[in-house]
Amino acid sequence: MNPTIVSRFRRGASFTGEHLDLSGTVVQLKALTPGQGAALKLLSDGDRDDTELAAAVTALDGETGLLRWHMLFRGLNVSGLIEHAVRVTGEADETGRAGEAGRAGEAGEITGITARLRLVGRGTTLLAPAPAGPARLSRFAEARVVDGTLTLQAPGRHLAVELAPRAAGLLGELANWSTGVPAPVLRLLATAGLLAPGGPEDDVETTERSHAQWHPGDLAFHARTRTPASAPGYGGTHPLGDRFPPEPVSPPPAGTRTVALPVPDLERIAAADPSLTEVLERRRSIRAHDTEAPITLDQLGELLYRSLRRRGTMTGSDGQELADRPYPSGGAVHELEVYPLVTACEGVPAGLWHYATDRHELELVAEPCKATAALVSEARGAAMLEADPQVVLLVAARFGRVMWKYETVAYPLVLKHVGVLYQTLYLVATAMNLAVCGLGGGDSAAFATASGRDPLLEGTVGELVLGSRPRMEG
């Protein structure tokens, strides 16, 4: 087997003979020699190894033209304009297998691309050297299918490595420290940051705190959403705009049974409320409720009105319906919906309800049942309550409201919105002298069972328990 590094222009880039075309953007290359032009044309036509490129340069520019070519080629790599791949040529063994780099092939000559280094963000494509000793995949490496190809990427890296089917066995080989992988493949993996640093006697990913403290999923999520150069689609890119219409600002009615909530007098409340500083200083999580005097319909309605009601709607320049509520939301999309799960509230029957922010009323989603009981039990345990919480505020996200407009930052925005909603509910509940406690986790599957909602379209992303403040709390 003979694995060799080959190169070509990255996808979306080509050489016309006079200039570079970068997806419609023209870049002039000044003072090109005939040999450089010939080599650039080869890179535009497909994968070429260094020998082929050097031969094209020397045929027209002589040996002295190679230094200038190498400088130009390095500049193209620094600019992220080149893709590199491993091309395998050779003879398969008598069993029809192609050895380490080509795990599936017919007897006789085989050829093809085993692995390809792709630019998926912004940065250089200069190749790194292969490790001198044993190599292992980083425990943070992610493998996923992209456009029908198995693709590896490390968190925060702007490069990815695509693997052909014949190279799938390399993943198993590199699950532990190995010397059995061809150096050209290791060069691509090292360049993309996919190999573990150190070695068998110095496994940095387990011995150093900076690496050991991170779970791979957490680091991947953090890097994808906080390192714009490592992924395309940062910000409001409308990734689904050409395939689906935006979701309306109001969800469909949850049911026919409703409870109207009284509208509080905000002027009277503003005159009587404690100061913001006082509320901030008093704010804390209270994990007990007054069982003899549960929260009332008026109190629940006031809390929801002051924290969540829709104060107005508008239409964005992209045609998406937007909303105005008391707490902030990125792009004013306001994807969060609150489902009060009531066990004891004077004036509200027990059950799972949805708060309609536009109408300021509760809609019955589910009567008390095994599924709602499971949600209550889980919230009770998470809040360490001695009795069932009077109300569990289940915070759900209509994901399409955000994901229609945003791409890499979509889910992080949802979580940020949950945070500001938590604080809003905490402050209003504190000002109202109610007991509130935010929970650190919940069960989206249990909510889906109780509500009948598709968890990929609308799922819980936060929970709080709410009730009357025990008398001893004052």
Distances in Å between the alpha carbon of 81 and those of 15, 84, 103, 118, 323?
11, 10, 30, 10, 42
3-state secondary structure of 204: helix
- Could you tell me whether strands 25-28 and 48-49 are parallel, antiparallel, or unpaired per DSSP bridges? unpaired
pLDDT score of 19: 85
pLDDT score of 254: 82
314 by Cβ neighbours in 10 Å (0-12 / 13-18 / 19+) ranks as exposed
CA-wise closest residue to 88 among 5, 160, 22, 154 = 5
Instruction: Quote the Cα angle for 456-460-465, to 5°.
Output: 170
Furthest CA-CA distance within the chain = 95
Q: What does the DSSP 8-state code read for residue 258?
A: E
In angstroms, the CA 358 to CA 360 distance is 6
Q: Is the dihedral of CA 185, 190, 192, 196 positive or negative?
A: positive
Beta bridge partners of 313: 323
- Token digits of residue 231: 């992924």
Summary count for the chain: helices (H), strands (E): 15, 21
Stretch(es) of the chain classified as CATH 3.40.109.10: 258-473
In angstroms, the CA 215 to CA 81 distance is 33
Phi, then psi, of 340 in degrees rounded to 5: -70, 120
Distances in Å between the alpha carbon of 51 and those of 56, 353, 392?
9, 70, 69
pLDDT score of 91: 52
CATH 3.40.109.10 fits 258-473, yes or no: yes
3-state secondary structure of 173: helix
Residue identified by tokens 């693997």 is 163
pLDDT in tens, the chain (474 residues): 689 999 999 999 999 887 899 887 888 888 899 999 999 999 999 999 999 999 999 999 999 999 999 999 999 999 999 999 999 986 544 333 333 333 344 433 446 899 999 999 999 999 999 999 999 999 999 999 999 999 999 999 999 999 999 888 889 999 999 999 999 999 999 999 999 998 888 899 999 999 999 999 999 999 989 888 888 888 899 999 999 999 999 999 887 799 999 999 999 999 999 999 999 999 999 999 999 999 999 999 999 999 999 999 999 999 999 999 999 999 999 999 999 999 999 999 999 999 999 999 999 999 999 999 999 999 999 999 999 999 999 999 999 999 999 999 999 999 999 999 999 999 999 999 999 999 999 999 999 999 999 999 999 999 999 999 998 755
- Token digits of residue 471: 């008398």
In angstroms, the CA 435 to CA 62 distance is 83
In angstroms, the CA 15 to CA 82 distance is 12
Contacts of 66 (CB under 8 A, 6+ apart): 54, 57, 58
- Token digits of residue 289: 């409720």
195 by Cβ neighbours in 10 Å (0-12 / 13-18 / 19+) ranks as buried
Residue identified by tokens 């006789």 is 108
- Token digits of residue 317: 């320049």
The whole-model pTM stands at 0.86
CA-wise closest residue to 133 among 191, 202, 222, 75 = 202
23 by Cβ neighbours in 10 Å (0-12 / 13-18 / 19+) ranks as exposed
Q: What does the DSSP 8-state code read for residue 1?
A: -
In angstroms, the CA 292 to CA 470 distance is 9
Residue 117: enclosing H or E segment and its boundaries?
Answer: strand 109-119
In angstroms, the CA 296 to CA 379 distance is 20
138 by Cβ neighbours in 10 Å (0-12 / 13-18 / 19+) ranks as buried
The Cβ of residue 406 has, within 10 Å, a number of other Cβ atoms equal to: 23
Residues listed for the chain: 474
